[in-house]
Amino acid sequence: MSDDTKIDGPEAIPAQLASSAPVEVPDLEVGAPARAIEAPHGGESGTPRWTRLLESLRTFTGNRLALVGAIFLVAVILFSFVGPLIYKTNQSASTLLNANLPPSSQYPLGTGPEGYDMLGRLMFGGQSTLEVGLIVALIATAFGTLWGSLAGYLGGVIDAIMMRIVDMTLSIPFLFFAVLIATLLTPSLPLIIVAITAVSWPGTARIVRSETLSIKTRDYVTAASGFGSWHLRLVGRHILPNSIGAIVVTATLKVATAILLFATLAFLGLSVPPPATSWGETLTLGIHHLFDSYWWELWLPAALITLTVIAVSAIGDGFYDVISKRQSVSSK
């Protein structure tokens, strides 16, 4: 058969493809399964997972402030949870004869107004402070994400009702709510976590709802819905993965906000019951000696709270850089 021979019919397709560059044709035939419609939330096609992880790590470490924040946060976690195993002190019984002692070889960071070793006190206080921050962020982010994604996806009357509940929750003053709970119930660590979580999730819900309203109108979501994808699959497979940037940044901010709210409650006397303590409670005791020469009782817990909040916020910024870059690569 000569090169000029004309081929008609279905046999022409292989001949044309053989003489041209490869063309990627999406599987969009009628009756194709819904899983063929994929949202552009993954990495580059064919790229090994470990390569994507290394690229994400390189992007995160490229943000110097986020890298310093991560190192500091790891150091604080080790200081709070591993430190008491190495530097052992008695934090269950106070000795007033040792109150307000300056830093020395016996007490590296001095003692507090109740005679506790300040170094050991800061270690134990860091445990409850970090626990509150992380647990509140996890619960508030998970519940707020679920609430906001369902409200945005379902829309209509359901969306209006769900968001009015969010607005009512946001209108309740936090301090009034916390004092009311503390008046009715005995303050404890779980109760404090519930109180802070109750006022933390609505912000996440509003952000995720806004992202959902934008994403659900995109072509790949519409196509997947047209091919019969379940609603839960659409939300879990297409909408939430493409909202992960906003969710991660919001979660890190929730950690910082929860730590500050926990310190605020401690200032009002609503802290964990003794012998447990927190950085906010230690700071509150130090405020009473603001104009005395006991600087270590005030500035050390204040510095830990401030630097931890800044570190967590910087880590959130680093995560946002990683997710934004991966989404920009996948959309090309």
Tens digits of per-residue pLDDT, 18-59? 444 444 444 444 444 444 444 455 444 456 677 778 888 888
Buried/exposed 133-156: b ≥16 CB within 10 Å, e otherwise: bbbbbebbbebbbbbbbbbbbeee
CATH topology of domain 72-85+126-332: MetI-like fold (1.10.3720)
- What's the pTM? 0.78
> pLDDT digit string (tens) for 287-298?
877 777 888 888
d(CA 151, CA 101): 56
Burial of 116 (0-12, 13-18, 19+ CB in 10 A): buried
Q: Where are the domains of the chain?
A: 72-85+126-332
Q: Which two tokens stand for residue 231?
A: 């609603």
* Contact between 61 and 67 (Cβ < 8 Å): yes
pLDDT for residue 32:
43
Counting residues of the chain whose pLDDT is more than 90, the rounded percentage is 33
pLDDT digits (tens, 9 = 90+) for 48-73: 677 778 888 888 888 899 999 999 99
Residues 193 and 259 sit within 8 Å (Cβ to Cβ): no
Q: Give SS3 for 117.
A: strand
Alpha-carbon distances of 33 from 30, 224, 236, rounded to whole Å: 9, 9, 17
Percent of the chain with pLDDT over 70: 79
**Buried/exposed 261-278: b ≥16 CB within 10 Å, e otherwise:** bbbbbbeeebbbeeebbb
Q: 113: cis peptide before it, omega within 30°?
A: no
Among 277, 304, 332, 283, which residue's Cα sits nearest to residue 77? 304
